[in-house]
Amino acid sequence: MSNLEQTLSIVKPDAVERNLTEDIKKIFINNDLKIVNSKKIHISKEEAADFYKVHQAKPFYDELCTYLSSGPIFVMILEGEGAIALNRKLMGATNPKDAEPNTIRKLYGISIDKNSVHGSDSAENAKIEIDLFFKN
């Protein structure tokens, strides 16, 4: 049975700054994820706060929003079979220290904050996050 999904991926400021966008795109493409839409943007702290609002009660929320708005990011809609879980597998654990070898965060992440990529964690959030960046 087919399970074609879309998910949102963000190349975060630390990785855009180090010119890693093309390398990260290649990892997705080589693993059967199609980039169906993408753009480089620089969001405001308010927009970052809206994007990360599921984390608003967390102690690191303010820092997280400051960071995501600190420089350009590259946002993508990825499409493929089981795209949500596949993207999360390719990214690796949130903390690069805990990530499996050859995952994006293991290869490129600097710290739990500067972990190079974000990916939607569920079908529900994938839809919300895609709409936030790509509707209208």
Residue 79 or residue 112: which is nearer to ligand CMP going by CB? Answer: 112
Query: Which one among 8, 48, 64, 76 touches ligand CMP, defined by CB under 6 A?
Result: 64
Of 15-23, 82-90, 100-108, 113-121, the window that binds ligand CMP (rule: CB under 6 A) is: 113-121
By the rule CB under 6 A, 60 interacts with ligand CMP: yes
Per-residue CA distances from 63 to 70, 89, 95, 132, 134 (Å): 10, 25, 16, 21, 25
Residue 1 or residue 125: which is nearer to ligand CMP going by CB? Answer: 125
State phi, psi for 81 to the nearest 5 degrees: -65, 125
Per-residue CA distances from 19 to 11, 12, 27, 100 (Å): 10, 11, 14, 22
Residue 118 is a catalytic residue: yes
Q: Which positions lie near ligand CMP, rule CB under 6 A?
A: 55, 60, 64, 94, 112-113, 115, 118
